[in-house]
Structure 1
């Protein structure tokens, strides 16, 4: 997840911060979590601490706890695109598609350059079977990250869900130019035969 600004200060804050980071570096996640919880008790409105706690809880699979921290974060930093993205990202993992969509849209409104927010928006729309809107969002993502296969993969799947086999085939042929393994996977999943042509969607 993206990082956000911090507002803690003082020697105690930075000593605890580096202690927590050292625990994470050593793989001592429980000790890092306890340190950040201690920091939160002392600096309850610190964005860095809230984001760090959310990251740890999400990594531990405790998505509901991560969401609680992230809700506090966006309440404290409502103009932060990354904060909204991170909340939406976890909500999408929880399959809360409508609220995730709102979060991704807010992130895009604040910072349109967050390419992953366009990708996440596409996923949230796919969960709601709003495939045409999802394709539009995924096109924005692939414009920003043309060599990343993820947006192209989801775009091809969305075209198939709409019954647009030819459009899906064009995306697959485009992928073959730089991600042949992903293209081959899509061919297996969709039943679209191979082709040596490479078209740009």
Structure 2
């Protein structure tokens, strides 16, 4: 695992734990967001010479080993949406892009190859821009096999909040850290 993290530019400095940036977003009445922080694991850069299929293999192995089922490769929809029955993780396979997190009044976050984003259920996300080679791998906790897609809809809000409250939390983040450390 250490070698794979190093290959992706995610090896922790000085042997300590891998520390993510933690971002929180307020409920805006349409997109619930959550008190749980979105986690952004920054990469120092993937090993030179790796193509996106090799990066995908690394992420698929890491994510699966830690209870996050790799699901699809692609981009993010260009409209604000969230999921109420699954947490979601993205591994950036290639390129660079920017996502608006937290809804229309949220924050733009730039991501690049090798980085990992973990969105707790309810967190709004939307594609802002991307390089031509931008590609993500999405993964979901093993016990969260279904995926809904809810747009910024106040009429859906309360039912979605109730579903999110019942959702389990994985033991580990997709890179193997204790998730309870970030999601108390």
Give the TM-score, by structure 2 length.
Answer: 0.24
TM-score (structure 1 length as normaliser): 0.22
RCO (CA 8 Å, sep 6+): is it higher in 1 or 2?
Answer: 2
Could you say which structure has the higher helix fraction?
A: 1
Kindly name which structure, 1 or 2, has the bigger radius of gyration based on alpha carbons.
1
